[in-house]
Structure 1
Amino acid sequence: MLNLGFKSRVVKMGLLVLGLGIAGAVVAQTHEQQVAQRLQPVGQVCLAGEPCATGGAPAASGATAAAFDPATTYDQYCAMCHNTGMAGAPRRGDADHWTARVEEAGFATIVTNAVNGVNAMPPRGMCTTCSDEDIATLVEYLSGESAE
């Protein structure tokens, strides 16, 4: 015969296992609900001309967009390397160096190199919002040379 203490322990263990099983099922269900909630769409795509496209913010046009300022852009993206000559970057205002460089490679090639990146210089000098025309303006500002 089994003693009463052993039966009591078996019942307690059974209740513990049952409780853990129920708790695990609740946690799994809660986790699945959380995953499903995180996977729900957060918005919708609405193209111009569709009924849902009314009342959106207008796109910036050239007239309303801020004017490009080469000095500010130079200070933000270019000055660190071109003021110090870091990694062989041609220094701003070094007229002799820039004149020789423009005569040797041509202004258009220098702009192309600035757009695409060359040697240690990353493409567009890390100015991802700069257009090709902005980069040409920056090269003019940096070199003191003109595109003409």
Structure 2
Amino acid sequence: MKIKQLLALGVVALTVFSLNAAQATNDEIKNRIKPVGNVHIAGAVAATAAAAGPKSGKDIYNSACAACHAAGVLGAPKTQDAADWKPRLDEKGFDTVWQNAVKGINAMPPMGTCGTCTEDDIKSAIEYMVEGVE
């Protein structure tokens, strides 16, 4: 009698485990094959993304400039360091420094490392980097 009870208990446990595992597998499959995008038909009006708004010079600096300018990598002038910035600004002026950043200079590629920045974004980032330099 005890063997029959153990066998019945084993069958019930195995059935419950199998159903649970099958459900988890089905959920995983549904998750893996769910659509990753939307289909847009030519000629139909597409939804537009809301503009994120302008970024501050500090935001641009943190996302694209800090990697080099925080530590002065490859001679990059360090952020808000008068010893690095003042001679450049006195000799060349802000507009030349800005255009050098836009066009690239020495080890700095054009537009720095910001592939989505406008020239005005670069200007804002430089204005942030020279804050307090007199």
TM range (shorter): 0.5 to 0.7
Tell me the percent identity.
40
RMSD of the alignment, in Å? Answer: 2.5
Contact conserved, 2:58 with 2:128, CA < 8 A, in 1? yes
In the alignment of these two chains, the number of paired residues is: 95
2:111 paired with 1:124: yes
Q: Which runs of structure 1 show a deviation greater than 3 angstroms over 4 or more consecutive aligned residues? A: none
Bigger Cα displacement from structure 2, 108-117 vs 137-146: 137-146
- For 1:93, give the aligned amino acid: Q
Distance 1:73 1:79 in 2: 9
Structure-2 residue corresponding to 1:57: 47
Return the TM-score normalized by structure 2: 0.61
Residue aligning to 2:102: 115
Write the letter of the residue equivalent to 1:77: A
CA distance in 1, matches of 2:96, 2:132: 13
> Structure 1 pair 108/145, CA: closer, same or farther in 2 (3 Å)?
farther
2:64 partner letter: Y
Q: With a CA cutoff of 8 Å and minimum separation of 6, indicate the structure with the bigger relative contact order.
A: 2
Name the CA distance, whole Å, in 1 between partners of 2:104 and 2:53. 25
Rg larger for: 1
Distance 1:128 1:58, change over 3 A: same
Contact 1:124/1:135 (8 A) holds in 2 = yes
Counterpart Cα distance in 1 of 2:90 and 2:65: 22
SS in 1 for 2:63: helix
Q: Is the 8 A contact 1:78 1:125 kept in 2?
A: yes
Separation of aligned partners in 1, 2:95 and 2:80: 19
The Cα shift of 1:59 comes to 6.5
Give the secondary-structure state (helix, strand or coil) at the position aligned to 1:109. Answer: helix
Residue 60 (structure 2) pairs with residue 70 (structure 1): no
Letter in 1 for 2:43: A
Whole-Å Cα distance in 1 between the matches of residues 60 and 49 of structure 2? Answer: 23
